[in-house]
Amino acid sequence: MVSTASKLQFTLLWLLAAMVAAVAIGALCVPVQEYFAPLWLFPCLQGLALGAALTAALRTFHMGNRRVAVIGAVAAVAVMFYAQFFLSYRVYADQIERKTPREAALLDASPLRKPSSLMEYLSLQTRRGRPLVGGFVVHDGWVWATWALDAALAAIAAVAVVWIAFGRPFCDRCGRWYRAVGEGRLSPAGAAEVRRLAGSQNEQSATAVEYQLWTCPTADHESVLDLSSISHDRPGKSHANQAERMRFESQTLTQVREILRKNSIPRS
């Protein structure tokens, strides 16, 4: 069993990695947005990139607490936008500082006067306004509202990616993520047989199912089998529905593999 101290250590390492990734992505977005920053789409892409980085950190540091991961993802989005705004402020201030003495003499009477803080820079941007679609420009509080919407879109995207990452089983005994060791399509008879082996009440299946087999890195811990029913949207097109998850003790893994081997059918 993983100790509480080890779990705390993995959690702190993941949180640290999440904040580092947030700062890095926020900084990278500053030069990128000069060339590519479609309205509303760009924050979604930021959130997806951050979510992917957080998922990689989850796997690396074996952090399996979903609640902490969701809260950490939202916090990382806030850090990412802070880093993006702060670096934008520093770039703007440096551009002002590089003005010639003659240009600098006009700064106090110019909208290009160097802001003394991040908040002053943001206030300057709100007064200038933010262009939206069709040449429409919003100012003041409406600019803050659009920034809040950007953050919300990024948070939704990041949390969605992290949430999906928890579709992979996690072993609470050893604190490790399971590994996928097999997948395919299982006949109705095979699905019924593994359900009986797992003691599931749902033993009837009139159609084939998709399966995915997961094993814990620790050999004597239980294995997980996901069975997903198949829906046919139109001829030649199908997709798997939400998985039915079954757990097997290590002693029965050989039996499960044998059932899957004998009852696997080709995908069509």
CA-to-CA distance for 37 and 42, rounded, in angstroms? 5
| CA-angle at 86, arms to 81 and 89, nearest 5° | 130
CA-to-CA distance for 156 and 50, rounded, in angstroms? 11
User: Considering the chain, what is the average pLDDT of its residues?
Assistant: 87
* pLDDT, position 261: 92
CA-to-CA distance for 44 and 201, rounded, in angstroms? 41
Residue with tokens 């920034």: 147
* pLDDT, position 225: 93
- List the pLDDT tens digit at each of the 268 positions of the chain: 778 888 899 999 999 999 999 999 999 999 999 898 888 999 999 999 999 999 999 999 999 999 999 999 999 999 999 999 999 999 888 887 776 555 555 554 455 667 889 999 999 899 988 888 877 888 989 999 999 999 999 999 999 999 999 999 999 888 899 999 999 999 989 988 998 898 877 655 667 889 999 999 887 888 999 998 876 555 555 555 667 889 998 889 899 999 999 999 887 6
CA-to-CA distance for 9 and 6, rounded, in angstroms? 5
The answer to whether 17 and 61 are in contact (CB under 8 A) is: yes
Q: Give residue 98's Cα distance to chain centre.
A: 40
Count of alpha carbons within 13 Å of 56, Cβ hemisphere only? Answer: 10
